[in-house]
């Protein structure tokens, strides 16, 4: 038997406008999912993701028409309007629910607003534009966060954050090509094209002017001719088939990164990342473009 003021969640599995005749309290208790009228919900102007694909949004709206909103969104109270809320997480669901014709949406109340949580959710759902990510990184850096901290908070490698941050330098023509679907939204590939744009802008302009899709193989080919796609390697001493010099020992390349020196151990399959073993015994995977070659050395 339901008592006065109890919360009936049975409608959440098939959430429809017809089920939303009851008026919700102004401030539902924290932690409880509650039906909130969509006209009371405002989108977060600081949401890291700024671009939403219309076709993806329509697919979600159609799913909501068929099955309802199956996962509540997260909201916080509006700081200036007592009867309104701002989206923490779930902007796509709010937009799609409006498109589907719903009057309300199930929501959790959470006054904690963490921009890193918003960005991480979008990244792991793979629905965040790489250029939105680049802008987010720049905003967090302006707020005093280091790239190492940004990487930790987003659960991404430091090298990924470094490459994504470079996309803020992308020319408008490249941005448009991504929006048009001619160039994939892979951060690594776009980082390579931004490098080409900086070093050989006329070549990238000519490629984009041709029209048509630009595949990853073409991007790798262009990046392979880029002076900063990897360090300029000193000529190695002669070695035999086992990789050892005639005098014995294994030949390794000594590189410098961030004021520390170490030996370059392994090149990843894409030829742009290497494992460096530093003198203190630590190891790190780093973009070759960030490594400064020093000399060749022989390890016994």
- Sorted by where each begins, the domain ranges of the chain are 12-113, 129-224, 250-299
Long-range contacts of 12-20 (CB under 8 A, 24+ apart): 12/68, 12/69, 12/72, 12/106, 13/68, 13/70, 14/67, 14/68, 15/68, 15/69, 15/102, 15/104, 15/105, 15/106, 16/68, 16/102, 17/101, 17/102, 17/103, 17/104, 20/102, 20/103, 20/104
**Which pLDDT value is given to residue 168?**
92
**300 residues of the chain, pLDDT tens digit each:** 444 444 555 444 444 444 333 334 434 444 568 899 999 999 887 766 666 677 778 888 888 888 888 888 888 888 888 889 988 888 888 989 999 999 999 998 887 766 776 667 666 555 678 898 898 899 889 889 898 888 888 878 888 899 999 999 999 999 989 888 888 888 888 998 998 898 888 888 888 888 788 888 888 888 776 544 444 445 555 444 444 444 455 667 888 877 788 888 765 545 567 788 887 778 888 877 777 777 777 655
C-alpha 90/C-alpha 118 separation (Å) is 9
Enter the CATH code of domain 250-299.
2.30.30.150
**Which pLDDT value is given to residue 4?**
47
**Which pLDDT value is given to residue 126?**
53
| Domain 129-224 matches domain 250-299 at the CATH topology level | no
**Which pLDDT value is given to residue 156?**
82
Tell me the Cα Rg of the chain: 26
CATH topology of domain 12-113: 3.90.1530
**Which pLDDT value is given to residue 267?**
55
Which H or E run includes 193? helix 187-199
Assign domain 129-224 one CATH number from 1.10.10.2830, 3.50.50.60, 1.20.1730.10, 1.25.40.10: 1.10.10.2830
**Which pLDDT value is given to residue 101?**
93
**Which pLDDT value is given to residue 237?**
52
């Amino acid at each position: 038997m339901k008592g006065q003021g109890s919360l009936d969640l049975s409608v959440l599995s098939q959430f429809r406008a017809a089920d939303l005749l009851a008026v919700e309290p102004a401030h539902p208790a924290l932690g409880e999912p509650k039906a909130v009228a969509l006209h009371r919900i405002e989108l977060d102007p600081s949401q890291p993701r700024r671009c939403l694909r219309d076709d993806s949004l329509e697919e979600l709206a159609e799913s909501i028409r068929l099955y309802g909103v199956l996962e509540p969104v997260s909201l916080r109270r509006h700081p200036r309007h007592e009867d309104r809320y701002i989206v923490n997480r779930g902007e796509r669901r709010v937009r799609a629910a409006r498109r589907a014709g719903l009057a309300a949406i199930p929501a959790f109340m959470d006054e904690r607003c963490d921009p890193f949580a918003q960005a991480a959710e979008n990244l792991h759902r793979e629905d965040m534009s790489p250029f939105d990510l680049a802008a987010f990184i720049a905003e967090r850096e302006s707020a005093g966060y280091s790239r190492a901290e940004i990487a930790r908070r987003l659960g991404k490698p430091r090298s990924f954050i470094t490459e994504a941050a470079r996309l803020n330098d992308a020319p408008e023509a490249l941005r448009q090509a991504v929006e048009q679907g001619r160039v994939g939204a892979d951060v690594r590939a776009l980082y390579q094209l931004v490098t080409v744009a900086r070093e050989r802008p006329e070549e990238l302009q000519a490629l984009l002017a041709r029209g048509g899709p630009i595949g990853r193989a073409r991007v790798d080919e262009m990046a392979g001719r880029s002076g900063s796609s990897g360090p300029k390697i000193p000529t190695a001493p002669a070695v035999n088939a086992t990789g050892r010099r005639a005098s014995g020992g294994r030949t390794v390349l000594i590189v410098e990164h961030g004021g520390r020196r170490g030996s370059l151990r392994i090149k990843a399959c894409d030829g742009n990342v290497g494992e460096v073993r530093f003198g203190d015994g630590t190891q790190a995977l780093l973009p070759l473009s960030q490594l400064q070659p020093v000399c060749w050395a022989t390890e016994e």
